[in-house]
């Protein structure tokens, strides 16, 4: 049994157990429902029509041209106002023309009654400001949540093997690094699978709600997000596995995971809050812990040159390799220390040389 075969067996077990776990299935479905709802519901709400009572025939004709308005023709202005008071209609247009409503004049009605000046866009491809704010936030959020959620699960799965003492049987059978690598890879596959599902649902949702143009803008950034996400996740997952190996009980994971959570949380806030600061974003897009979100965002906003993501990806890859090596050593040094919490220094020193 070499490391590769052992890693595959360990990863396969992790996947089987997780895919049968009710909590995992339920949380995945829940996530998907939220995503689908947030893509579709705003469009549905926006499409609601406003009912307007109108006595004047000319006004009625003008308003019925708008598909957001439903015109109810009434006998006179008094009756129109009466219908508003009774709540039969959302608003009325009386002589003047004056819009009558209870507490809030419907925007669509006012727009229909006003005349807009013609607009000429000089740079029509520029990203919509709302998208400019939302897309970085979504990337940062997805990376933050997925890496925290699946990272915690990897740590729990490691501690479970320590706590139930099966670790010793496993260590006697296969190389310790295979145990860690198998968990990291299985966690990565699950995280990628869940992201894939979320992306598919979000894309279908956006299509249903007619947000096509935004889609074509996001696509290239999304394409880059995938490799950055996968490698970044593996880098963090190795550290999560170590966090799980350092403690002996599930209850203690939170305390060792705190520095790790900081390492994930600080880049998240930096990227989410300073996505308009070009210099800071340039730096963040090369730093391993923030690159997975910052670089795709810079590609999305069009600030990054074509060669930049490749360089950032290489930096991330190297950091991930180092993280796996350090992680494997700490893992070997702590997995069988079941008495108490192991310090990082002890784990580094105590690694057993096993032939």
Partner 1 sequence: MTSVLHVDRVNRSFGSRQVLTDVSFTVTAGRMTGFVGGNGAGKTTSMRIILGVLAADSGEVSWQGKRLTRQARARFGYMPEERGLYPKMGVQEQLVHLGRLHGLDMAAARRATDALLERVGLAERGKDLLETLSLGNQQRAQIAAALVHDPEVLVLDEPFSGLDPMAVETVLSVLRERAAQGVPVLFSSHQLDVVERLCDDLVIISEGRIRAAGSREELRAAHALPRFRLLVDDDAGWLRDVEGVTIVELDGPGAVFDLAPGVDEQQVLAAALARGPVRAFAPVTPSLAEIFREVTR
As a whole number of angstroms, the distance between CA 53 and CA 88 comes to: 9
Total site size for partner 1, rule CB under 8 A: 26
Residues between 154 and 183 that touch partner 1 (CB under 8 A): 160-161, 164-175
CB of 297 to partner 1, least distance (A): 40
CA–CA distance from 278 to each of 165, 217, 271 (Å)? 51, 19, 11
Cβ atoms of residues 199 and 222 within 8 Å: yes
Q: Quick check: 226 binds partner 1 (CB under 8 A)? A: no
As a whole number of angstroms, the distance between CA 322 and CA 328 comes to: 10
Largest CA distance in the chain: 97
As a whole number of angstroms, the distance between CA 278 and CA 298 comes to: 9
Site track for partner 1 across 267-296, x = CB under 8 A: ------------------------------
Q: Quick check: 352 binds partner 1 (CB under 8 A)? A: yes
Q: Quick check: 354 binds partner 1 (CB under 8 A)? A: yes
Cβ atoms of residues 94 and 113 within 8 Å: no
Q: Quick check: 9 binds partner 1 (CB under 8 A)? A: yes
Question: What does R_g of the chain's alpha carbons equal in angstroms?
Answer: 28
Cβ proximity to partner 1: between 59 and 157 the closer is 157
Cβ proximity to partner 1: between 81 and 160 the closer is 160
CA–CA distance from 83 to each of 56, 61, 88 (Å)? 15, 19, 5
Q: Quick check: 249 binds partner 1 (CB under 8 A)? A: no
CB of 170 to partner 1, least distance (A): 7
CB of 253 to partner 1, least distance (A): 17
Q: Quick check: 245 binds partner 1 (CB under 8 A)? A: no
Torsion of CA 81, 83, 87, 91, to 10 degrees: -50
As a whole number of angstroms, the distance between CA 225 and CA 185 comes to: 18
Q: Quick check: 15 binds partner 1 (CB under 8 A)? A: no
Q: Quick check: 1 binds partner 1 (CB under 8 A)? A: yes
From candidates 120, 123, 216, 353, binder to partner 1 by CB under 8 A: 353
Q: Quick check: 336 binds partner 1 (CB under 8 A)? A: yes
Binding interface with partner 1 (CB under 8 A): 1, 6, 9-10, 13, 17, 160-161, 164-175, 336, 338, 352-355
């Amino acid at each position: 049994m070499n490391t590769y075969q052992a890693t595959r067996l360990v990863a396969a077990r992790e996947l089987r157990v997780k895919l049968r776990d009710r909590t995992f299935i339920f949380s995945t479905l829940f996530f998907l429902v939220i995503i689908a709802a947030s893509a579709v519901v705003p469009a549905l709400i926006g499409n609601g029509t406003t009912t307007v009572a109108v006595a004047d025939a000319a006004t009625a004709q003008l308003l019925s041209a708008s598909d957001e308005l439903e015109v109810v023709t009434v006998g006179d202005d008094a009756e129109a106002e009466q219908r508003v008071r009774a709540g039969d209609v959302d608003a009325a247009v009386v002589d003047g023309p004056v819009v009558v409503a209870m507490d809030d004049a419907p925007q669509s009605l006012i727009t229909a009654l006003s005349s807009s000046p013609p607009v000429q866009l000089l740079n029509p491809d520029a990203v919509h400001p709302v998208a400019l704010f939302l897309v970085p936030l979504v990337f940062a959020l997805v990376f933050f949540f997925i890496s925290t959620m699946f990272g915690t699960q990897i740590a729990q799965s490691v501690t479970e093997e320590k706590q139930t003492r099966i670790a010793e049987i496993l260590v006697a059978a296969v190389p310790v690094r295979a145990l860690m690598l198998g968990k990291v890879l299985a966690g990565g596959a699950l995280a990628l699978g869940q992201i894939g599902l979320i992306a598919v649902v979000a894309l279908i949702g956006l299509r249903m709600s007619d947000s096509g143009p935004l889609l074509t803008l996001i696509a290239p950034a999304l394409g880059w997000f995938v490799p950055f996400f996968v490698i970044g996740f593996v880098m963090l997952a190795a550290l999560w596995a170590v966090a799980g190996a350092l403690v002996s009980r599930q209850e203690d994971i939170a305390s060792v995971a705190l520095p790790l959570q900081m390492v994930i949380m600080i880049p998240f806030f930096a990227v989410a809050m300073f996505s308009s600061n070009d210099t800071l974003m340039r730096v963040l897009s090369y730093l391993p812990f923030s690159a997975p979100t910052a670089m795709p965002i810079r590609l999305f906003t069009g600030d990054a040159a074509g060669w930049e993501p490749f360089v950032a990806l290489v930096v991330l890859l190297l950091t991930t390799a180092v993280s796996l090596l350090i992680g494997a050593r700490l893992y070997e040094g702590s997995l069988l220390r079941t008495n108490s919490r192991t310090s990082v220094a002890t784990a580094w020193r105590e690694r057993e040389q096993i032939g």
